Structure 1
Amino acid sequence: MRSSFFPRAACTWSLIFATFHVYWALGGSFGLGDGPNVGTMHENPAFLAYDLVVAVMCLTGAAVAVALAGARFTWIPRWVLLSGAWTATVLLTLRGVPGLVEGIMTQTGVLPNGFFGMSTTQVYGEPNPSAYTIWTMRVIDVYFALGGFLFAAALRGYYRRRATPAAPA
Structure 2
Amino acid sequence: MAALDKRALDPAPGKAHVAEGPWPVRLTVAFTLLYMSIHVYWAVGGTWGVPLAAQQNADAVRNANWVVSVIMLIGAAWVLALHHRFARRVSAWVVLTPLWGGAVICVSHAVFGFVTKSLYLAGVHDAVDFPKAAGVDATTLAHDHHVSAVRDLWLFEPSFLIQGLLLALVGWQFIRTAAARRTWSLSLLLGIAAVDVFGLLLSLGNMHVALG
Distance 1:130 1:37 in 2: 10
* Partner deviation per Cα, 1:30-77 (whole Å, 9 max, x = no partner): 3x15x43454543x2x32221111111101110122123x23764765
- How far apart, CA to CA, are the structure 1 residues paired with 2:102 and 2:54? 27
The question of 1:140 aligning with 2:156 is answered yes
- Could you tell me which runs of 5 or more consecutive residues in structure 1 were left unpaired when the two chains were aligned: 165-169
State the shift of 1:124 in Å. Answer: 7.0
TM (norm. structure 2) is 0.60
Structure 1 or 2, whichever has the larger Rg, is 2
Q: Name the SS for the 1:9 alignment partner.
A: helix
Q: Structure 2 CA distance, aligned partners of 1:10 and 1:84?
A: 14
Residue matched to 1:167: none
Which residue is 2:40 aligned to? 22
Contact 2:99/2:167 (8 A) holds in 1:
yes
Give identity over the alignment, percent: 23
Long gaps (5+) in structure 2:
1-19, 134-140, 179-212
State the distance in 2 between where 1:77 and 1:152 align.
Answer: 18
Tell me the residue number matched to 1:102: 116
**How far apart in 1 are the matches of 2:85 and 2:56?**
40
Q: 1:151 is matched with which residue?
A: 167
* Contact 2:121–2:146 (8 Å) recurs in 1: no
| Equivalence map 1:33-52=2 (5 Å) | 33=50, 35-37=51-53, 39-42=55-58, 44=59, 46-52=60-66
Shift of 1:15: 0.8
Q: Is the 8 A contact 1:29 1:38 kept in 2?
A: no
Q: Distance in 2 between matches of 1:10 and 1:124?
A: 35
Matched residues in 2 for 1:55 and 1:63: separation? 12
Determine the C-alpha separation between the residues in 1 that align with 2:80 and 2:22: 9
Q: How far is the alpha carbon of 1:132 from its aligned partner? A: 4.3
- Partners in 2 of 1:47 and 1:130 — Cα distance? 17
